Amino acid sequence: MQRSASRKRVAVTGASGLIGSALVRSLRADGHDVLRLVRRPARTADEVEWDPGRLYVDAAGLVGVDAVVHLAGAGVGERRWSEAYKKEIRDSRVLGTTAVAQALASLAEPPEVLVCGTAIGWYGDTGSRAVDEDAPAGTGFLPSVCVEWEAAAAPAEEAGVRVAHARTGLVVAREGGAWGRLFPLFRAGLGGRMGDGRQYWSFISLHDEVAALRHMVDTPSLSGPVNLTAPEPVTNREVTAAMGRVLRRPTLLTVPAPALRIALGEFAQDVLGSQRVLPGRLLETGFDFAFPTIDEAVRAAAH
C-alpha cells in the first residue's frame, strides 16, 4: 500500500498493541481510513465494537471496508504458562479469528482481503534447518495453537475473501514485545546469550513488519502463509553480539538454560528452541527489506 495507491478503508484488531499501533500510524500517515476494533461500545466514528470471547463483532461497522488486518491476541511471553494462561493464549487467537472471519462472511460485500497475524511458532523447533512456508507444522503447544489459529479464518475464505496469514518472527522494537525487554537489560550492561546461544532467532524490524503487512494487503497473489522474518536469521549468540556492538555495552553474562526453565517454566523451551525461518513468499513477490540484517534492525530500534 504505497502512497500512490488509492485511498483504502482498513479495519485493524489489536490496534493498541506494538505492531497494530505502528500499522495504524503508517496507514493514516498515507491518507488511508482506519477503523479500530475495540472491546467496548464504540465511542467514535473510527471504532467498531467486538468481543472475541463471545464471538461477537459489530459487522455493520465493517460495511465498506477494503481490508481487515487481524492482530489481536494475548502475549505469548507476558506471563508464565499456567494451564489457565495457555487457554487464554489459545482462545484469544482462535476465538478472535473465528469472530472476525464469521463477521466478514456475513457481509453482503465482504472485503477483498483478510490478513491474519499468526506466528513462526507454527514450525516448532527447526534446529539449524532453514524452513520456508512449505514446511509442515511442528509439534508442541505453540504449533498446535498456530494450526487452530489459521484454520479459524476458514469462514472468510469460503466467502471469497483472500486470506493471508502473517507468520511473524521476533519483532525488533524497543517499545514492546520480547525485544522491548532486552533493550533495558543490554543498556544496563546486563545482557548476554541465553543457554548455549546456538539457537536461531528469526527476527524482523518493526518498520519491515508494518511494511510487510501492507505489502500483503496490496499484493493479490499473496494468500495462505507468508513468513514475516528478515532474510538472514541469526543465532542468539549473534543477536547478543549485535546488541553489544550497537549499544556499546559489554555482553559477558550468560543465562544458563536451567535458570531459564526455572524462571519461565514451559515457555523456556521456546526461548531455547531454534527457528531458522526464511521469508520465501515476501522475496518472491518483490518485497524490499529496509533493515535486513540484525545490526541494522537493532540500530533502527535503538535510534
Query: pLDDT by residue (tens digit) across 243-293?
Result: 999 999 999 889 888 877 766 677 667 678 899 999 999 999 999 999 999
Q: Is the pLDDT confidence value at 3 over 60?
A: no
Q: What is the pLDDT at residue 258? A: 81
As a whole number, the mean pLDDT across the chain is 93
- The Cα–Cα gap between 154 and 273 comes to 30
Structure confidence by residue, pLDDT tens digits, 123-160: 999 999 999 999 999 999 999 999 999 999 999 999 99
Tell me the pairing of strands 162-168 and 224-228: parallel
% pLDDT > 90, the chain: 83
Residues 231-242: tens digit of each pLDDT: 999 999 999 999
Q: Please state the rounded mean pLDDT for residues 108-134.
A: 97
Q: What local confidence, expressed as pLDDT, does residue 2 receive?
A: 41
**Distance between alpha carbon 109 and the CA centroid of its chain, in Å?**
28
Q: Name the β-bridge partners of 69.
A: 12, 115
Nearest to 13 by CA among 55, 43, 49, 60: 49
| Bigger pLDDT: 150 vs 191 | 150
Q: Is 195 left (phi over 0), alpha (psi -120 to 50) or beta?
A: left
303 pLDDT higher than 90: no
Distance CA 118, CA 39 (A): 20
Whether the per-residue pLDDT at 302 is higher than 60: the answer is yes
Grid coordinates representing 89 are 493464549
Check residue 267 and give its pLDDT: 67
Q: What are φ and ψ of residue 48, in 5° steps? A: -130, 130
Residues 200-211 have pLDDT tens digits of 999 999 999 999
Radius of gyration from C-alpha coordinates of the chain: 19
pLDDT of 189 over the 50 cut: yes
pTM here is: 0.94
Contacts of 119 (CB under 8 A, 6+ apart): 76, 142, 146, 167, 168, 169
Half-sphere exposure of 91 (CA within 13 A, CB side): 11
How many residues in total does the chain contain?
Answer: 303
**The three-state (H, E, C) secondary structure of the chain, written as one string:** CCCCCCCCEEEEECCCCHHHHHHHHHHHHCCCEEEEEECCCCCCCCEEEEEHHHCEECHHHHCCCCEEEECCCCCCCCCCCCHHHHHHHHHHHHHHHHHHHHHHHCCCCCCCEEEEEEEHHHHCCCCCCEECCCCCCCCCHHHHHHHHHHHCCHHHHHCCCEEEEEEECEEECCCCHHHHHHHHHHHCCCCEEECCCCCEECEEEHHHHHHHHHHHHHCCCCCEEEEECCCCCEEHHHHHHHHHHHHCCCCCEEECHHHHHHHHHHHHHHHHCCCEECCHHHHHCCCCCCCCCHHHHHHHHHC
Query: Taking residues 90-102, what's their average pLDDT?
Result: 97
Q: Which three cell numbers stand for residue 176?
A: 514492546
Kindly tell me the burial class for residue 216, based on how many C-beta atoms sit within 10 Å of its own C-beta (0-12, 13-18, 19 or more): buried
